[in-house]
Amino acid sequence: MNIIELKDVSKLYGFGDATTVAVEEVNLRVKKGDFIAVMGPSGSGKSTLMNLIGLLDRPTQGRYLLNGRLVDKFGPRKRAKFRRDTIGFVFQAFNLLPQLTALENVALPLAYKGKTQTKRLKQAGNALERVGLADREYFYPKQLSGGQLQRVAIARAVVNAPDILIADEPTGNLDSGASRVVMELLSDLHKAGHTIMMVTHNPELTRYANRVVFMHDGNIIADKDSDVGQVPDIARKMYFRTRKTEEDDLEGVSALMDAIPQDDKMTKKKTKKKSRKKSKKKEAKQ
């Protein structure tokens, strides 16, 4: 069964001459239990796509079915409730509240459920145990390392037992040792049946996924199944730094273009033309 189904979904920002097409007529089907790595240069629409899938944002056009429900027709309250019950989020910046202990941070998503505080804290304690931090319950964020903070954030994301976990560069702020621990944890959650969508710039991390999706200019330009434990060739050929300069962007884009298989040449032509158009526009502005 498809847990996520996007049909011709677009997201536009701004209007008139200043319109940005962040996501363009994307079609995507995700099976329950998939672990998908999403790659692509900066500005290619990865975060926008995650926000749409995570019900943090609504598509400008197209249809979105989540767990078989047409969620883009939901009003804000129904959408928020559905999001709480269905999706957990892990961000690069951890997003923990500094004035709360690890345990209280993890218990936050349970606050609306009408459970007693004792029950909530017990459930949060179980989630912390799952991420190997049972002995850090009463620590405040500033007393924890980056890797531990991300593990607390993962405990918070799964405390509600959501079907889907969305992780936007979850290891972006971590050293390699801490990254590994966090990735092993996501891998365990995958094995336990969670569906995971993870944005990453690091091709090595695609080894934890069973499918890799590549974005460019708001489009999905390649979508490959891959064996868990293997880094698909196409991912190895790409290396996107978490950059913010135009040169880095161009470097990422040319790596991407070189790595696209022959049968995707049509897309290649289309996107190349587009980038040229874009840079012409830029030149004209200057």
User: Minimum CB separation from ligand ADP for residue 232, in Å?
Assistant: 19
What is the per-residue binding string for ligand ADP in 20-59, x denoting contact by CB under 6 A?
x-x-----------------x-xxxxxxx-----------
Q: How many residues bind ligand ADP (CB under 6 A)?
A: 12
User: Minimum CB separation from ligand ADP for residue 107, in Å?
Assistant: 30
Measure the CA–CA gap between 258 and 242, rounded to whole angstroms.
19
Nearer to ligand ADP, 48 or 105 (CB): 48
Q: How many Cβ atoms are within 10 Å of 97's Cβ, its own excluded?
A: 11
Q: Which stretch binds ligand ADP (CB under 6 A): 13-21, 111-119, 144-152, 277-285?
A: 13-21
CA dist 191 to 33, 123, 185, Å?
Answer: 8, 21, 10
State the angle between helix axes of 146-158 and 176-191 in degrees (0 to 180), rounded to the nearest 10.
Answer: 20
User: Minimum CB separation from ligand ADP for residue 1, in Å?
Assistant: 28
What single letter denotes the amino acid at residue 57?
D
CA nearest to 215, candidates 186, 158, 179, 256: 256
Q: What is the sign, positive or negative, of the torsion defined by CA atoms of 52, 58, 63, 64?
A: positive
Is 141 an interacting residue with respect to ligand ADP (CB under 6 A)? no
User: Minimum CB separation from ligand ADP for residue 45, in Å?
Assistant: 4
User: Minimum CB separation from ligand ADP for residue 214, in Å?
Assistant: 11
Nearer to ligand ADP, 47 or 226 (CB): 47
CA dist 101 to 121, 131, 140, Å?
Answer: 11, 16, 4
Nearer to ligand ADP, 145 or 254 (CB): 254
CA atoms within 13 A on the CB side of 204: 7
Nearer to ligand ADP, 105 or 271 (CB): 271
CA geometry: angle at 34 spanning 44 and 192, to 5°? Answer: 130
Q: How many Cβ atoms are within 10 Å of 187's Cβ, its own excluded?
A: 17
Range 192-251, binding ligand ADP (CB under 6 A): none
User: Minimum CB separation from ligand ADP for residue 12, in Å?
Assistant: 9
Is 13 an interacting residue with respect to ligand ADP (CB under 6 A)? yes
Write out the residues near ligand ADP by the rule CB under 6 A: 13-14, 20, 22, 40, 42-48
